[in-house]
């Protein structure tokens, strides 16, 4: 897990060698508002926000909260042409995230001016669509996965992005208050990662329980086709959730150290590791790879760093952060992430074969299939 959003460079000549030491990126003059890349699927995208409260358990971080409240952002296909674009985050959330991440190279409301591609509260379209749950990295709001979420929705998925309050620098609760990162005070405690992914697995199961009753468009979801993906600790949480909840049929860990332990007998549901060169030698990925007994892939992107699987590189120019040489360019990182995540989901939730998952493919030289010999 990493607590700093600022882009760092992970230089690697190939994906199957040990990574070079990280190097901080330099500062640049902030550009205008960031604009997320357009979705690539045939559908327009709508989005809405739900607030769900689990009265069966207290919040694991806020001792004063007797219920666990979750913020869930849904992205989905829509036929609606007009309407206001959804905000990326509020100005207050932007300030807390930038302050917590020690980014002072641009005005603190910068991230709130990021331009998205989804229409707020648009009418859902489609029927019996697969559901993809997204979980963000530690200290990060789920909005940092918006580019991926919008793209998946445009391809015919309903996406449920979960904000786990008090694990992010800023989560706006239903009453308008901001939940700040109380878990940050405990992140060096022994067993923290394992406890965190158990808590997130419970969060996801609760969302799956509640979604049919809490969203008017939930009848469009095919409850038999559910997958989960996440970045960093969110990726670790995907495997943890699958171990505990059989409703999640397939999962993706994007550059997250694995904390949940697979049973000794193995785990047969489809799973993919998608990461940076740092994880070529990851002992947890190597350990879990041997216990994955079903369909599996381990793909490493040359030049990627920890945040390459999020919106962070796409926001760098607006934040006045200059990426170091050798790092995968932001637009290319987004393209690769979208391609391999969508291919995995198309295969396992739509039964559509995607040759890009079979091995090295023309047009995607950055992708290396591991374990590396």
Q: Is the pLDDT of residue 16 over 70?
A: no
**CATH number of the domain enclosing 316:** 3.40.50.1820
The DSSP code for 183 is G
> Among the residues of the chain, which ranges form H helices?
91-100, 146-154, 192-214, 233-244, 283-291, 312-319, 330-350
Tell me what the mean pLDDT of segment 26-54 comes to: 90
**Poorest-pLDDT segment among 9-13, 87-91, 301-305:** 9-13
* Residue 207 near residue 223, CB atoms below 8 Å: no
CA distances (Å), origin 59, targets 65, 68, 126, 147, 346 = 6, 4, 35, 29, 35
The DSSP code for 63 is T
**Poorest-pLDDT segment among 79-83, 94-98, 245-249:** 79-83
Domain for residue 180, yes or no?
yes
Tell me what the mean pLDDT of segment 88-115 comes to: 97
Domain for residue 34, yes or no?
no
* Residue 11 near residue 19, CB atoms below 8 Å: yes
The pLDDT mean for the chain works out to 90
Domain for residue 26, yes or no?
no
- Sequence-ordered strand ranges (E) for 242-295: 250-254, 271-275
User: How many domains are contained in the chain?
Assistant: 1
Phi-psi region of 77 (alpha: psi -120 to 50; beta: other; left: phi over 0): beta
Summarised one tens digit per residue, pLDDT across range 153-201 is 999 999 999 999 999 999 999 999 999 999 999 988 889 999 999 999 9
Domain for residue 199, yes or no?
yes
Banded pLDDT at 95 (limits 50, 70, 90): very high
* Residue 3 near residue 97, CB atoms below 8 Å: no
Tell me what the mean pLDDT of segment 324-346 comes to: 95
Domain for residue 114, yes or no?
yes
pLDDT of residue 28: 67
> How would DSSP label each residue in 78-126?
E----SPBPPSS-HHHHHHHHHHTT--SS-TTGGGG-B-S-EETPPB--
* Residue 161 near residue 142, CB atoms below 8 Å: yes
Domain for residue 271, yes or no?
yes
Q: Which domain holds residue 337?
A: 39-370
What is the percent of the chain where pLDDT is above 70?
91
CA distances (Å), origin 267, targets 28, 136, 172, 239, 355 = 46, 23, 36, 10, 24
Domain for residue 8, yes or no?
no
Phi-psi region of 191 (alpha: psi -120 to 50; beta: other; left: phi over 0): left
- Report the chain's terminal Cα–Cα distance, integer Å: 27
Summarised one tens digit per residue, pLDDT across range 244-283 is 999 999 999 999 999 999 999 999 999 999 999 886 667 8
* Residue 117 near residue 38, CB atoms below 8 Å: yes
pLDDT of residue 138: 97
CA–CA separation, 282 vs 274, rounded Å?
12
């Amino acid at each position: 897990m990493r607590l700093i959003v600022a882009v760092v460079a992970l230089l690697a000549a190939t994906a199957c060698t040990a990574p070079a030491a990280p190097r901080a990126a330099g500062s640049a003059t902030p550009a205008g508002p960031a604009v997320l890349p357009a979705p690539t699927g045939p559908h327009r995208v709508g989005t809405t926000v739900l607030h769900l409260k689990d009265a069966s358990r207290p919040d694991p971080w806020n001792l004063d909260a007797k219920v666990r409240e979750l913020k869930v952002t849904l992205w989905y296909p829509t036929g609606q042409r007009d309407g206001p674009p959804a905000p990326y985050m509020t100005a207050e959330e932007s300030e807390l995230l930038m302050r917590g991440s020690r980014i002072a190279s641009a005005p603190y409301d910068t991230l709130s001016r990021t331009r998205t591609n989804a229409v707020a509260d648009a009418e859902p379209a489609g029927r019996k669509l697969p559901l993809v749950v997204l979980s963000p990295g530690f200290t990060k709001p789920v909005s940092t996965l918006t580019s991926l979420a919008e793209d998946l929705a445009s391809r015919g998925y309903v996406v449920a992005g979960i904000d786990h309050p008090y694990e992010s620098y800023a989560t706006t609760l239903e009453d308008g208050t901001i939940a700040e990162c109380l878990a940050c005070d405990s992140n060096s405690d022994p067993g923290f990662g394992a406890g965190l992914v158990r808590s997130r697995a419970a969060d996801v199961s609760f969302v799956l329980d509640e979604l049919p009753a809490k969203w008017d468009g939930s009848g469009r979801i095919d409850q038999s086709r559910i997958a989960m993906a996440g970045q960093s600790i969110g990726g670790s949480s995907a495997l943890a959730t699958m171990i505990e909840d059989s409703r999640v049929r397939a999962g993706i860990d994007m550059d997250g150290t694995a904390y949940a332990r697979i049973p000794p007998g193995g785990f047969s549901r489809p799973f993919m590791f998608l990461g940076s060169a740092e994880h070529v030698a990851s002992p947890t990925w190597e350990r879990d790879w041997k216990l994955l007994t079903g369909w599996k892939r381990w793909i490493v992107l040359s030049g990627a760093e920890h945040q390459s699987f999020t919106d962070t590189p796409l926001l760098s120019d607006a934040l006045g952060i200059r990426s170091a040489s050798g790092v995968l360019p932001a637009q290319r990182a987004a393209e690769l992430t979208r391609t391999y995540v969508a291919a995995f989901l198309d295969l396992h939730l739509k039964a559509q074969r995607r040759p890009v998952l079979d091995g090295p493919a023309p047009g995607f030289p950055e992708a290396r299939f591991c374990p590396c010999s």
